[in-house]
Amino acid sequence: MPEQRPRYRVFATCDIGKDALDLLRERGYEVEVYDRLEPPPKNLIIEKVRAGVDALITTLRDPIDAEVFEAGKGTLKVVAQDAVGFDNINRADANHYKIPFTHTPDVLNEATAEFALFILASLARKLYPSERLVRENRWGAWHPYLPFLGDEVTGKTIAVIGTGRIGQAFIKKAVALDVNFLCFDPVKEAKGFAEKIQEEMNLRFLSEFTGEKRTIRYARFEECLAQADFLSLHVPLLREREAPTPTYHLINEKTLRLMKPTAYLVNTSRGPVVDERALAEALKQNVIAGAALDVFEKEPLPADSPLRDPALEDRVRLFHHFASAGRITRLSTDPNRGMAGRCIQALQDVLEGGKPADVPWVVNKEAFR
Ligand code: GLV
C-alpha cells in the first residue's frame, strides 16, 4: 500500500505561480487560490481561516493579525509569506497564538540589489527624461550640455543604510562602479564583510582597474546623510514599539535637511521608511536633487500623491514595487532560487513535521523555543 500522505488545506491569498502551487497539489494538498489581481478583503481571509485551512499563503498586501490568528485557533498551523519582508504580519500576535510564519529570504537578494542599482543609475543619468525627449520628438540637436546633463555615479559616495542580506548584495554589485561606501546599520555592523569589500577595492586599485583607491567604512547615520551623493535604503520596516531601533520615517523632514542638495535618495525597502510628504516637499524646495522609489507608504501609489507632481517628474523615478520581480526570482519552484519555491518549501517543512524552531525560514522562532 502506498503511504497515505496527510491532506492539508491551503488558502493562497494570491497566485504565487502555478508551478509552485501544482507541486503542493501533487503532494496531495488541497490548494485554493484567490486569483484576482487585487488582494482579498480581510474578512474573506478570516472566513477561509475559520473554515479550517491548515496553512495560509500570503503576500505583503495582506494584514495578518490577531483577528486572523483567532479565527484559526486550533486549525491554522502556518502562515507562509511569499516575500522577505513581513511587516504586514503582526509578530506579537503570531507568537501569542503560537502560529509560526515563514518568509523567503536570500532568493531575492540579487534581483532586488541589481534593481536598486539600476534605478539609482536611471535617476542619476536621467534615462527617463532622455527617452521622453526622443519619443516626444523634442530632441533638437546634439549639444555638449543642453537640454540637460546627468550625474556620473563613478567616483561618488554611496551611503548604504541597512547592510543585511540585500544591502550587502547591493554593495557587491556597486563596487564595480568604482565608488566609495559609507555604511550604517541600525542593528548590526557587518564588519567582516566590509573588510572583504575593502580588500577587493584595494585589489582593483593595485590592478589599475581604477585610478583611485576607494574605501568602505561604517559611519554614524548623520554622517552618511551629510556625505552621501546617493543614499540607498535596505532596512526592514520596524514601527515604534516593534523594535528598539524603529525605521518608520527614518527619512523625514529633519534627516532630509542633513543631506546635500545634490544628493539622490533610492528606496527599494519599504515605503513607510520614508515620510513621503516630507520628501515631496524637500524635492520641491531642492533640499535634495532627486529620488528613485520602488515602494510607497500606500501601495498602489494614490492618484493624488505629491510625488506625482509634474514639476518633479524629471527628478523622481517611480516604480510599482518591482525590485524582486525577476522571472526566476519570483517564480522558480527551486527553493534555492525562487520565492515561490522557498515559500512552498517553508510551508511544507512546517506542516510535514519540522519543529518550527528548526525550520530555517520560520521568522518567529522565539515562540517555539
Ligand atoms: C518584497 O518587497 C519582499 O519583501 O519580498
Respond yes or no: is residue 50 known to be catalytic. no
Residue 309, CA distances (Å) to 133, 246, 255, 256, 257 in order = 19, 29, 22, 19, 20
24 CB contacts (<8 Å, ≥6 apart)?
10, 31, 344, 347, 348
* Ligand 1 pocket check for 83: Cβ under 6 Å: yes
Q: Is pLDDT above 80 for 117?
A: yes
Ligand 1 centroid–CA 39 distance in Å is 15
Q: Quick one: cell of 147?
A: 537640454
Distance between CA atoms of 228 and 42, rounded to whole angstroms?
41
| Beta carbons of 35 and 15 less than 8 angstroms apart | yes
Ligand 1 centroid–CA 342 distance in Å is 13
Respond yes or no: is residue 299 known to be catalytic. yes
pLDDT at position 353, please? 87
At 266, is the secondary structure helix, strand, or coil?
strand
Give tens-digit pLDDT for 134-177. Answer: 999 999 999 999 999 999 999 999 999 999 999 999 999 999 99
Mean pLDDT value of segment 263-273 = 98
pLDDT at position 303, please? 98
At 5, is the secondary structure helix, strand, or coil?
coil
* Ligand 1 pocket check for 273: Cβ under 6 Å: no
pLDDT at position 52, please? 97
Q: Is pLDDT above 70 for 214?
A: yes
205 CB contacts (<8 Å, ≥6 apart)?
212, 213, 214
Dmax over Cα atoms in the chain, in whole Å?
79
| Beta carbons of 130 and 156 less than 8 angstroms apart | no
**Among 82, 80, 119, which residue's Cα sits nearest to residue 329?**
82
Distance between CA atoms of 278 and 42, rounded to whole angstroms?
31
At 169, is the secondary structure helix, strand, or coil?
helix
Q: Is pLDDT above 80 for 5?
A: no
% residues pLDDT > 90 (the chain) = 96
For ligand 1, atom 4, which residue shows the shortest CA distance?
A: 85
Respond yes or no: is residue 321 known to be catalytic. yes
Mean pLDDT value of segment 107-124 = 98
Ligand 1 centroid–CA 292 distance in Å is 17
Question: Average per-residue pLDDT in the chain?
Answer: 97
Secondary structure letter of residue 292 according to DSSP: E
Mean pLDDT value of segment 268-275 = 98
- With bands split at pLDDT 50, 70 and 90, how would you rate the model's confidence at 40? very high
Q: Is pLDDT above 90 for 265?
A: yes
pLDDT at position 108, please? 98
Which atom of ligand 1 is nearest to 83's Cα?
A: 5
Q: Quick one: cell of 33?
A: 487560490
pLDDT at position 6, please? 61
pLDDT at position 4, please? 61
Amino acid symbol at 11 = F
- With bands split at pLDDT 50, 70 and 90, how would you rate the model's confidence at 242? confident
Q: Is pLDDT above 90 for 1?
A: no
Distance between CA atoms of 199 and 191, rounded to whole angstroms?
12
Which atom of ligand 1 is nearest to 268's Cα?
A: 2
Secondary structure letter of residue 362 according to DSSP: B
State the burial class of residue 130 (Cβ atoms within 10 Å of its Cβ: 0-12, 13-18, 19+): middle
Distance between CA atoms of 77 and 60, rounded to whole angstroms?
19
Domains observed in the chain: 9-107+327-368 (3.40.50.720), 109-318 (3.40.50.720)
Distance between CA atoms of 345 and 136, rounded to whole angstroms?
48
Cis peptide before 300 (omega within 30 of 0): yes
Secondary structure letter of residue 89 according to DSSP: B
Give tens-digit pLDDT for 276-316. Answer: 999 999 999 999 999 999 999 999 999 999 999 999 999 99
Mean pLDDT value of segment 173-191 = 98
Characterize 143-178 residue by residue with b for buried, 16 or more Cβ atoms within 10 angstroms of its Cβ, and e for exposed: eeeeeeeeeebeebbbbbbbbbbbbbbbbbebbebb
Range with the poorest average pLDDT among 30-34, 241-245, 280-284, 333-337: 241-245
For ligand 1, atom 5, which residue shows the shortest CA distance?
A: 83
**Among 224, 158, 214, which residue's Cα sits nearest to residue 186?**
224
pLDDT at position 190, please? 98
Give tens-digit pLDDT for 79-95. Answer: 999 999 999 999 999 99
What predicted TM-score, i.e. pTM, was given to this entire model?
A: 0.96
Mean pLDDT value of segment 224-241 = 97
Which residues share a beta bridge with 79?
56, 101
Q: Is pLDDT above 90 for 2?
A: no
Phi and psi at residue 265, to the nearest 5°? -110, 135
* Ligand 1 pocket check for 108: Cβ under 6 Å: yes
